[in-house]
Amino acid sequence: MTKPTKTVAQLSARARALLFALVVTAGILNLVDRQIISVLKPTIAADLGWSDDDYGTLAAWFQGGAAFAFLFTGWIVDKLGVKWANPIGVAAWSIAAMAHGWARSMTEFVMIRVSLGATEAMGTPTGIKTIASVLPKNWRSSGFGATNAANSIGAILAPLAIPGVASLVGWRGTFVAAGALGLVWAAVWLIATRRVTFSPPSPVETDAAPPTEYGPILRNRQTWAVAGAKILSDATWWLLLFWLPDFFHRQYGLTGVALGVPLAIAYGGAAVGSLLGGGVSTRLLSLGYSVNAVRKGILLVAALCVLPIPLVLYAGNYALTIGLMALTLAAHQAFSTNLFALIADVVPQDKLGRVTAFGSFSGNVGGMVIAKVAGLVLTAGLGYLPLFLFASVSYLLAVGWIQLLLPVLRPVEAR
């Protein structure tokens, strides 16, 4: 006799925890797949003859592919629902990751990086929508914090595990192995959700409606508040994600396995920031503080913590440099956690995937620009100072932008 299906609301706490754990794991795989190229940059660049500008170009194409895809992935996720969006997204970007193992020319790498960016763009709207479906409202902030912490864990695992794997199977085999893990994840998700019914996907639109339905959300201040904040804050995140290994290589001559320790510590700070940003906001909300005060207060504190980042160029101390980078990444993740939670606070569920995706599109535009600019700045011999000066004020500008467009945050249920 076939067991009856259950809605998410009918699942046990253990079953919900399993689904949440799978979402967290998908975030780790997402980041590891994109980080392989930055961790192994010295090896791949030496093998294929890349310059800093070539690497910056590849990073920009990756961001461009993701940015363009985000215009559609939110709509796709809202239509498919999280049950199918999860395995389809993870399987797609895993196949793109595996394709790196056979790339030879710069043109082939560009095409594959665009494909990886485009398919990984399924991850953010799917993850946000899944967490909103699986976790109670009071736990969303902590859920988003844990998810961002998972991304940081991926960033920690990448510099620790990738060089070791590459020493065994080469840099090409490393891409293939990471992609294969993603295909296994997709199979596990399908097994775990085979008798689970999530919220039904949105109905098919009539021919009169534009396929991505962005018209309605683009008329909302909430959408543009999130978009502007993501452009400014994500530019710094992507700058560090793609160029931090290179910074430590230039500043302290580190390569290969030796990069693992400083990068792991720095991204360990990011994980702590994610958990603190989510946990503190959950606690303050449970004590009765308003969404407006909690979200904006944590965003402001996080922005202030990024101000010292230019000092890493003058610290003259290895440990202090790592500490400042860890503080910066912790601040970003606390900021990002509460920005994603802000979206869930002020955007209706039926538009959540699209607004999240448009915000991520905007963030990837910022990342695309900073990736190319960084390559040009470094090729011109200007060093990291102009880039870190921008980073130091980017979050304060983002907070100001949110305050300008949304002087008071009003949760959806309060309207």
* pTM score of the predicted model: 0.71
The two three-digit tokens of residue 398, written as one number: 């983002």
Beta strand pairing call for 196-197 and 6-7: parallel
Residue 311 pLDDT: 94
Q: Dihedrals φ, ψ of 197, to 5°?
A: -110, 120
Residue 162 pLDDT: 86
> In the chain, count of helices (H) and strands (E)?
14, 2
Contact 303, 399 (CB under 8 A): yes
DSSP string, 368-392: HHHHHHHHHHHHTT--SHHHHHHHH
Residues in the chain: 415
Which residues does residue 6 pair with via DSSP β-bridges, in sequence order?
196
Other CB atoms within a 10 A radius of the CB of residue 317 amount to 11
User: 233 CB contacts (<8 Å, ≥6 apart)?
Assistant: 332, 335, 336, 339, 363, 366, 394, 395, 398
d(CA 58, CA 242): 10
Contact 152, 263 (CB under 8 A): no
The two three-digit tokens of residue 304, written as one number: 């202030």
Residue 413 pLDDT: 62
d(CA 146, CA 152): 10
Residue 210 pLDDT: 44
- Looking at residue 104, the DSSP 8-state letter turns out to be -
Give the pLDDT means over successive 10-residue stretches in the chain (415 positions): 63 81 88 84 86 84 84 82 90 95 91 93 83 71 70 72 88 94 94 78 42 66 92 92 85 78 85 85 88 94 96 89 94 91 81 79 87 89 94 97 92 62
Contacts 24+ apart (CB under 8 A), 46-49: 47/171, 48/106
Other CB atoms within a 10 A radius of the CB of residue 44 amount to 22
User: 221 CB contacts (<8 Å, ≥6 apart)?
Assistant: 405, 406
Ramachandran region, residue 191 (left: φ > 0; alpha: ψ -120 to 50; beta: rest): alpha
Residue 140 pLDDT: 65
Q: Dihedrals φ, ψ of 410, to 5°?
A: -120, 110
d(CA 61, CA 66): 9
User: 347 CB contacts (<8 Å, ≥6 apart)?
Assistant: 222, 355, 356, 412
In the block, tokens 């207060």 appear at 297
d(CA 81, CA 200): 6
d(CA 246, CA 339): 28
Residue 34 pLDDT: 84
d(CA 75, CA 204): 11
Distance of CA 344 to the CA centre of its chain: 16
Residue whose C-alpha is closest to residue 372's, from 99, 88, 62? 62
Alpha helices by DSSP H, listed for 193-289, are 214-218, 221-252, 260-286
Residue 74 pLDDT: 76
Residue whose C-alpha is closest to residue 413's, from 300, 285, 301, 299? 285
Residue whose C-alpha is closest to residue 410's, from 342, 354, 360? 342
User: 180 CB contacts (<8 Å, ≥6 apart)?
Assistant: 94, 98
Taking each helix axis from N to C terminus, what angle separates 52-80 and 221-252, rounded to the nearest 10 degrees? 150
The two three-digit tokens of residue 273, written as one number: 């920031």
